[in-house]
A and B are shown apart, each in its own frame.
Chain A
């Protein structure tokens, strides 16, 4: 016999289920990027363009992307996004666009753009909720056909709702998407145009064409003809996971035993380490992963994070590269000087990451206070600038040391735009809205080092410019008095004035340094000085990695004894390293 309460509960859960997806969407608009009309339109473009860029790069195709926003009146817009990517096979199209969280990258650790928002299906759902219209998709995978779909989402079942499908002959490959949505088109910062411009800077290998609602065409030219290296997928590092994540891994794994689970699912865990973890967690190596209780899982996590494990591999990251960043800045901003710095990968909490910065100075940039362009895996972050670790690092740099005035909030007072790209397999956003990066000390330190390095180059350039200016003034002053001097000397010596004047003019070039050539070279080339030899750099890097391993261990739990032994361990490693260095030299 069911109690009243049970009956009620069952009824409620039925209702809950029926409205789950729509309600989830409605209640979490602010987290998903659809909380304002202005942001909704941007989010749609962003989801589409990010997908296109990722797809092209994975297929080894130089991206060629077309974006159009048309104003249909009454705050309704038609957004068209078309790419030359590999296309999506007919069977998958309904799921990619018509099912929320399909093929989620959630369990994947790779440096991809697609960590933003809920994905393109979110855009389809938003379109459906605000206009009632289906989304139209054209997909070509190079088989001579174009598959055309009109679809929506069955909200109750979270399943694609295909309203129309047709296959016609068509050449080439790629995807074209037409979405109708309620929105508001704006200009200036946090606009679609700004997003595309910033995207073009950090993705100079992409060609993007944009047609705004007034019919203006803007082309963001491709200036780099090579694709960035493809980021590799890696397994999570034991230091970087949380309990919920571990539990999901435990329930999904194909491994039959805990020992093989640890060895297969994590990076840097071999048999010896796995056994050590299990011994510390008092778990049997033969237990089935799915049999673990919450408490056992917690014990396993603690054990994993209290044992000395080398930092994860860092070759999974794909930097944009200093040259590409400089080209991107040059073409979009036409500055007088650019410099870019790509740092080597580092690790925070078991996640590899790398920082790249670019500074564009002067020229067409006419700002009194510098601007900062923030990127996570090459995707511009347009909101929540003040909450972001990248901004904090930017403000903490002592710009005055590099001859640049600094306002009270730490922003440099100079005509410059500073781009900072944070690349990682896992971006630690401050919140679900994914617009700002958390204040991890390791991250802030790296960004500052990169900015300081770039600022030094800028300073060298500015000092040259300053010298050139002074030199020019000097020259004009020297030339100015030549006539007077020649007159006086002619009176003193009775020699012709003209000849004295001629000889003096010839002397000017000898005593005034001409900087124009040097400056021209600096504008094209970055005079980055590698003070440390490569060898020193490597050993320093290693040491830093170890320190970071140590740091992240400190953060985790109650393992003071273990940390002490770890420190000893590291000390031994470092001194061994030193010994071997000497050994090589002798």
Chain B
């Protein structure tokens, strides 16, 4: 089964779209109108939870960015600079750049004035996102990359854009790095032999499982985004889930922060709502650690961390998010609040070092003991 989500445009289509926007502006200028760009809004006010797909999505609201508007003039100029640079990158077949490198590529002094086109990377980053939503493509398709942190291991063979063949059973104890772009033309999955994908919040926990060859014993892919995941990890999990039809289980700390990381893998994030359709994995399930596991697995009180005000506050916020608005999660959040303690996934070693790999995970997966 292929992705349930739309396919990305190819580079030729993107170039055409950029040309179309440019020509529209020229027309506005010739008609003596105030030239503007129409950009879908990326603010919280334009984000909604789509129950049908189970994804956080961007609404229809659009903003216009005018040149003859003192508050927008510079941004208008900057947006066009980013757009034209992207067109150039694509046409000249340049290697993908980080958004920091793009910033340096764009930054220069405006001739005749003591002003720079861009002063900090904080100015280019949101504009790159604007261009992504305008063109309805991912930055990866624009030859721009964010730096991923994720690693994975498991029975999977990939052909890299360089032509190198990567065997993720032979990546050593540190695992195989997830590249910035995991689209098929960069990261071609030739073979895969796994029953499910296990996503682990923290590298330390992932690393122990890797050393124990958990993936081999349980015939799965183990992957970590090292805390809050970057785009590439999310996109890769999406591909594995829908292109290769693998179940996805997510294992995090027992605290509101871990729960939220799960939701980012599953439903997407507010900031990158436009990205959800390509990187969200609504079919992902939450494995743990959860409140009822404390009793069931007889966790010692020494593994408890007392919750602080900020944790309680975060629980309250989560309970108000629409995508946590279901009985199972409302009950879980209430239970956590009542319990008043957090438990890190690392703390499972207090039972024994092998406990996670040999007892906890197999039990949960065998019993299909998940939260939705």
Q: Please report A residues at the B interface, Cβ cutoff 8 Å.
A: 473-474, 477-478, 480-481, 483-485, 487-489, 491-495, 500, 503-504, 506-508, 510-512
Contact = CB atoms under 8 A, between A and B. Distances in A.
B87 A478 contact: no
A488 B83 CA distance: 8
A374 B345 CA distance: 84
Nearest to B30: A503
Q: Which of A488, A503, A512 has the most CB of B within 10 A?
A: A488
Contacts of B110: 480-481, 483-484
B18 interface: yes
B12 interface: no
Nearest to B21: A492
Given A485-B77, A488-B77, 5 more contacts: A474-B70, A481-B67, A483-B110, A485-B80, A500-B29
Q: Which 5 A-B pairs have the closest CB atoms?
A: A492-B22, A511-B68, A488-B80, A491-B84, A488-B84
Contacts of A506: 32
Determine chain B's interface SS by DSSP, over half rule. helix
Interface string B105-144: 0000011110101000000000000000000000000000
Contacts of B193: none
Contact of A489 (B25, B34, B68, B111): B25
Contacts of A489: 22, 25-26, 80, 84
B84 A492 contact: yes
Interface string B63-77: 000011010011011
20 contacts: A473-B70, A480-B113, A481-B67, A484-B80, A484-B117, A487-B84, A488-B77, A488-B83, A489-B26, A489-B84, A491-B87, A492-B87, A493-B23, A493-B26, A494-B19, A495-B26, A500-B26, A500-B29, A507-B68, A511-B34
A485 B81 CA distance: 7
Contacts of B32: 506-507, 510
Contact of B70 (A477, A500, A504, A507): A477
B339 interface: no
Contacts of A488: 77, 80-81, 83-84
B22 A478 contact: no
A385 B115 CA distance: 52
B70 A503 contact: no
Contacts of B76: 481, 485
A483 B113 CA distance: 11
Contacts of B297: none
Contact of B88 (A481, A491, A507, A510): A491
B84 A481 contact: no
Contacts of B87: 491-492
Contacts of B25: 489, 492
A492 B80 contact: yes
Given A483-B110, A491-B84, A503 B29 contact: yes
A473 B111 CA distance: 18
A12 B365 CA distance: 131
Nearest to A470: B70
A409 B191 CA distance: 86
A481 B68 contact: no
Contacts of A487: 84
Given A500-B26, A510-B32, A492 B68 contact: no
Contacts of A511: 34, 68
Given A495-B26, A500-B29, A504-B29, A480 B115 contact: yes
A477 B115 CA distance: 10
A473 B112 CA distance: 16
B358 to A, nearest CB: 59
Nearest to A476: B113
A206 to B, nearest CB: 50
A508 B32 CA distance: 10
A478 B68 contact: yes
Contacts of A480: 110, 112-113, 115
A484 B77 contact: yes
Contacts of A478: 67-68, 73
Interface in B318-368: none
A494 B15 CA distance: 12
Nearest to B111: A483
A428 to B, nearest CB: 54
A474 B81 CA distance: 21
Interface in B13-38: 18-19, 21-23, 25-26, 29-30, 32, 34
A284 to B, nearest CB: 84
B262 to A, nearest CB: 41
A484 B117 CA distance: 8
Interface in B48-100: 67-68, 70, 73-74, 76-77, 80-81, 83-84, 87-88
Nearest to A471: B70
Contact of B73 (A481, A492, A503): A481
A468 B115 CA distance: 23
A474 B19 CA distance: 29
Interface in B255-314: none
Contacts of B34: 507, 511
A493 B22 CA distance: 6
A503 B22 CA distance: 15
Contacts of B81: 484, 488
Q: Which of A481, A495, A510 has the most CB of B within 10 A?
A: A481
Nearest to A487: B84
B28 to A, nearest CB: 10
A507 B76 CA distance: 15
A480 B18 CA distance: 24
A512 B87 CA distance: 32
A478 to B, nearest CB: 6
A198 to B, nearest CB: 44
Contacts of A507: 29, 32, 34, 68
A481 B73 CA distance: 8
Contacts of B18: 492
Contacts of A485: 67, 76-77, 80
Contacts of A481: 67, 73-74, 76-77, 110
Contacts of B88: 491
A530 B25 CA distance: 47
A489 B21 CA distance: 9
Contacts of A493: 19, 22-23, 26
B323 to A, nearest CB: 38
A126 B68 CA distance: 73
